[in-house]
Structure 1
């Protein structure tokens, strides 16, 4: 009888532990990547006080892990919607675009998605970095015919800065590279040439050094 009481007491302890710790376990959500990256919901609602200029700088210096596409249909749909929204605003072709890869990455406390896309009907392709908290595209690589290679490159830059709700303090242009200085001396570089658009790319990027 004594052993039975000890056994029942042990079972009760285990059940109590499960009840206490299960909420924290439920609060975690996993994305399918090659590294089985697990992102806590608190991180997904990451530091919203982080300002866009600082985020732009973090993205420039980031080293992204290569993972498989996350099998989250809702997330893929939201990423596609975000891309369509910006491309339409920028008057860039966005018909029949398909997300071919979407990999979550954590940069400090910033949760971003590295996304690749292509069109099923045209030669448009590219990639972008999407920030969870601001719901903005912080970096874009766009390959294909576009209307900004005839001396009107500044129009696209203005559209992008307006989209991010930030202002340019200074502007420097060298051939097809335009560098915008933001407050706090942050720089973002734009490379706009026939069939190539790079928004917020490091100046050591191969395209910028050609």
Structure 2
């Protein structure tokens, strides 16, 4: 499995030898201190960073936190010649893929990098799927809201039609109601003109006036 790897260690000999060994499998960059590592992380998308705990300008654990801030999906393997349980716990709690003790064989490091690449690929798939689901969820939400508005309009239209029918039936059955309807209808247009009401509001006003005594 290929990948882009950043090696961070203050020992140039270690960096040169590991770059030579890993270069046949991965694309490898190196940094000899924390500041250089951060600059490279900001400028490139690394799949895995291998970070020494002891650096000239940074604690490796602080660099781990910074890498995760800048590039959350970059897997970080911590290595140290001075292992401690608190440092190991801190590293794993803050997102390190693993915490390895020196001396470290080339085979072991390659194995760890390949496992880290597998986890990164899985996380990338999950991240893409989550984004897809969020987009789909928003699309469905918009569609449901649109359908709800359409349904409300249909229900409103049907209710108005029923109300109008009720008004007409009452007008036919009762002469007083019929005359009263004719009277109130005469006032809706003047009121609409005074308040500059749109057509649909005038319609509702007329219907409300017709229904208020029923």
Normalised-by-shorter TM-score class = under 0.3
Give the helix-richer structure, 1 or 2: 2
TM-score (norm 2): 0.22
**Higher relative contact order, structure no. (Cα contacts within 8 Å, ≥ 6 residues apart):** 1
TM-score (norm 1): 0.23
